[in-house]
Structure 1
Amino acid sequence: MSRPLDYENLNENVKKCQYAVRGELYLRASELQKEGKKIIFTNVGNPHALGQKPLTFPRQVVALCQAPFLLDDPNVELVFPADAIARAKHYLSLTSGGLGNVTHYLILFFEKIATYFKLPSGYIQQLLRNLVLMDMGGNISKELQLVSFHTVSKGYWGECGQRGGYFEMTNIPPKTAEEIYKVTCTSHSPNVPGQIFLGLMVNPPKPGDISYERFVRESKGILESLRRRAQIVTDGFNSCRNVICNFTEGAMYSFPQIRLPPKAIEAAKNAGKVPDVFYCLKLLEATGISTVPGSGFGQKEGVFHLRTTILPAEEDMPAIMASFKKFNDDFMEQYEDYGGYLRM
């Protein structure tokens, strides 16, 4: 007897759904890791998993919010700076019941924006409509519809496990915004620690605060290292045969184009694989580098990419790129005829 949740009765769109970031490559990488092979997981933008250290100030604030009894300890100021203590007390005052209480969407973030601009909370939506496009002038700032996203999960904060973020809608009709809000609410309430991280991101320590110098030093150190790693990765890819890569900026990912020889494409077809999946699987098996095939994101017919993060430790990047280069050279040597593709 056929049952509602038997495979043949599932919605076809569910079956077609793909998430390459944790798809075939990731599953194979996990298998190899269990077998004892060293895997470098560059498929996911998860900074702390690859060694990036968390910023001290936000972790201090959230630690105090998670364990408010620490605030009653007479020695608390010997362990935590005064500005972190003050910020934790402030956030706790906004949430009756502490972090175990379900808190309405982004009230902490909205409160911080309102405080920063010295505006009552009723003006928040008007403020958000004007922030991004105010400098463009003319009809563009009034007509262009724009949705901007920001998160604590990436960049120099790297708090992937906290999952705090927001999006800003500019020049979106109020009724449309209401519908989007309604759909968003079906996810119920966001985690409160994530909201606190978000509030700290939009309102970090300021000059004169006890934690300011350390916060700036840590943030600057991470950002400068990310830029150096981006350069190492970009130069490394562009030194490889049949590989072209734009400089990585504004994100933590590189998307090199791999100009696969016809023989490699034919070999992939015979193996029942999409060509860039075939290449990435070979790369994984040979080097332990786990990437994401570009076909998982969509690309032009006959053009192939892979996606990798720039997040491994800076001191490890030269060896990782050398390993990639050796694999790629061997791969191209195996599948490329004389007169094949040349790097442009």
Structure 2
Amino acid sequence: MNRRIVTLLAALAPIVVLGIVGSLVTVPYVALGPGPTFNTLGTVDTTVDGKQVTKSVVDIEGTELDPTTGNLNMTTVSVRDGLNLFEAFGLWASGEHGLVPRAEVYPPSKTKEEIQQANTADFQQSENSAELAALNFLGKPVALTVTKVTPDGPASGALAEGDTLVKIGDTPVDTVGAVQETVAAIAPGTQVPVTVIRGGAETTVPVTVGARPNQPELGYLGITPEEVPDVPFDVTFNLADIGGPSAGLMFTLALLDKLTPGELNGGQFVAGTGTIDSDGTVGPIGGIRFKLIAAADAGASTFLVPAQNCDEARQNAPDGLRLVKVDNLSGAVDALDSLNSGGEAPSC
């Protein structure tokens, strides 16, 4: 064989091997990047009774709704798994994706199905919290229902599943946090009257407060209270195959926009992210830089950022995207109202 050909083949061999290895061997990383965004004021195609129908992303039935325009987009992060070496390098080099160890997203101790179930549960919780946050903000009635009574707990035999809590002692309670705070302040061993609605009638039952496990200095009833809407209309969220808790804030704002006069977004394209509690507290999320890219690519001009994500957001904000710092629901509404009237808003 011609020496020149041999030399050429010898030089090409490592390249061929690298090409084979790079295309066949997967890396222990996943790529995070901008995911799809969804206008919570818009519609989505979904399946009902086996038929494809178009529904509102946030659907409210049983009450009059105020017209809305523009966008209040929730944002997501995409996850790409099973990457080969070339794919991983290409995504990293794009500047819009980041590589993280696969174990951070898919812990080895859990199956993909278990992780998906947990993400779905978080998303459903964000829907529940969004409805409650909106109703609490609007002063609409919310019932505080006992969903579980610990069989051997202090309240066993006195309180029952389905009871609606009204007062603990002389203190009215209407949130889970209020129950926890009120009971914790009662010395263990103290008998306290608990007022509930049971079978449509208000009644008061005595309960001797126990000691909280692991914190025996704090009071404990051994019940699981849950806030549930007590309004004459129904709210349904129609996004499927989305996981995690970070849609809470934008779902809440969509509900407020539909249930109150005027437009929260001023008819403009607002996007954002953030968890929300029933009391309106906005919490931090992961992947903020990818969500900012997704929002900018979709056409957003303003992005609502949880306060605890502000530092990272400020360092990764796309040009032309206004960042609005949000601590709670009231702050988000006030900021949007200010922007709509030509004023300023808290910025990251």
The alignment's TM-score, normalised by the length of structure 1, stands at 0.20
Q: Which has the higher strand share?
A: 2
Structure number with greater Rg is 2
The alignment's TM-score, normalised by the length of structure 2, stands at 0.20
Q: Which has the higher helix share?
A: 1
